[in-house]
Amino acid sequence: MPSVDINGQPYQYPGNWVHLDANTFVVVPVNFRNWALIEGLKAQVGKPKAKPAKEKSDDGE
Amino acid sequence: MPTTRGNLLAFDYAQFWRVTSAGIATGQLDPDSPGTAPQTSHSFLLEGPMTCELPGATFGQFKFRGGGSYEGSVDGGLEDLTNGTLTLSQCDASLAALIMGTSLDTTTITGGPTIWSVDNMRPSPVQGGLMLTRRIQSQVTASQGIVSYITTIFPLVQMRMTQGNFSQDTSLNTSPVTVSITPQIGSKFPWGEAFSSTQGWYSNQGIEFNIQSDYPWALTAFLQDGTETDVVTAYKPIYTTVTDGRANSVHTVNGVVTAPTSITIATATIVKAAVGTADQWSNHFYQTAFDVV
């Protein structure tokens, strides 16, 4: 379980679980209504992470 | 088996959940704006030092007198229903928001502070279910002395919170929070199934009822998305039997009792027999020892 809810607040277990995908969820407070925030997170879940920039070697490659 | 008669003790748990206009539990979510499925929400659990004065029913009486003498009387039925009071030693912002339908505001001031109110200006608090669990020690032959649980359920209530007073007294629970309970007449169990002739209650209605069981109860509500079959409950269920969907636990889809495929204690997972219709609620009312996965 996450230690804080979607607002970064400590919460009383179990709270409400909003599923972002089959394996990921976030905890939201009672009477949560900021669903645009959830849709934004859903869009981010499953996206491949950006590759870190490759460091240049000493010979300039 | 739980006892049918005994001595009451130890007020252990109180739980509240919101309900739709069809009497189906939505956990801690707003039934009118639950958001995008799938979602899992649970009854809001209160524990710790608390007391509850139950709502009281008063009954009218027809009296017959004539010529200065008493001739007889007849019970006139329910005359009034008074509020109950739940007294808590803890101040709980989430409970205040839940029972009034308000939000916990963490955006007006960012960085951590939370703004909330008991919202006394609201003309009508939200409707929900209230479940109070205590223990009962058997005074019945064969189970003498065995302690089991008795759960009193108000299928529909409204509640208001009064903040604890400010005080510099050093005493027991100096600033208790009180929650008034306005009971209403309900016709459905917490899992959405209607009262029926099986209970034999007048007009299939009721203000409260009791369940005696070996363990306390908890409730999980799941907003179906038409894809997901697994529901994870907040606590490990005690029983895994799925027969008819009502064996030591009750499972419903949109208020209709529906047997799941399986219940797994270790992962607190209920696998439903079907994904169900999107944006309909499934309810899972189960016995638990409140062990967390």
The answer on pLDDT for B1 being more than 80 is no
For residues B222 and B274, is the Cβ–Cβ distance under 8 A? no
Looking at per-residue pLDDT, the higher value among A61 and B33 belongs to B33
In angstroms, rounded to a whole number, what is the distance separating the alpha carbons of residues B264 and B271?
8
Its domain, for residue B146, covers 6-56+76-216
Residue range B230-280, pLDDT digits in tens: 999 999 999 999 999 999 999 999 999 999 999 999 999 999 999 999 999
- The helix (H) or strand (E) run that includes residue B145 is none
Please report whether residue A59 resides in a domain: no
Please report whether residue B100 resides in a domain: yes
Chains A and B: how many Cβ contacts under 8 Å? 79
How many domains does chain A fold into? 1
Residue range B6-21, pLDDT digits in tens: 999 999 999 999 999 9
Contact: B104, A11; criterion CB under 8 Å: no
pLDDT of residue A53: 58
Contact: A7, B104; criterion CB under 8 Å: yes
The answer on pLDDT for A47 being more than 90 is no
- The helix (H) or strand (E) run that includes residue B71 is strand B69-81
Contact: A17, B28; criterion CB under 8 Å: no
Q: Which residue of B has its CA nearest to A20?
A: B38
Please report whether residue B230 resides in a domain: no
Contact: A30, B42; criterion CB under 8 Å: no
Looking at residues B25-37, what average pLDDT do you find?
92
Please report whether residue A40 resides in a domain: yes
Contact: A17, B232; criterion CB under 8 Å: yes
pLDDT of residue B256: 97
Looking at residues A36-52, what average pLDDT do you find?
77
Note if the pTM is more than 0.90. Answer: yes
Please report whether residue B23 resides in a domain: yes
Nearest to B132 by CA among B286, B280, B279, B13: B13
In angstroms, rounded to a whole number, what is the distance separating the alpha carbons of residues B267 and B219?
16
Please report whether residue B70 resides in a domain: no
In angstroms, rounded to a whole number, what is the distance separating the alpha carbons of residues B138 and B145?
5
Please report whether residue B276 resides in a domain: no
The answer on pLDDT for A1 being more than 50 is yes
What ipTM goes with this model? 0.83
- Listed by number, the residues of chain A in 11-50 with a beta carbon closer than 8 Å to a beta carbon of chain B are 11-19, 22, 25, 29-33, 35, 38-39, 42
A3 touches chain B (CB under 8 A): no
For residues B272 and B283, is the Cβ–Cβ distance under 8 A? no
Its domain, for residue A11, covers 1-48
The answer on pLDDT for B175 being more than 60 is yes
How many domains does chain B fold into? 1
Please report whether residue A16 resides in a domain: yes
Please report whether residue A53 resides in a domain: no
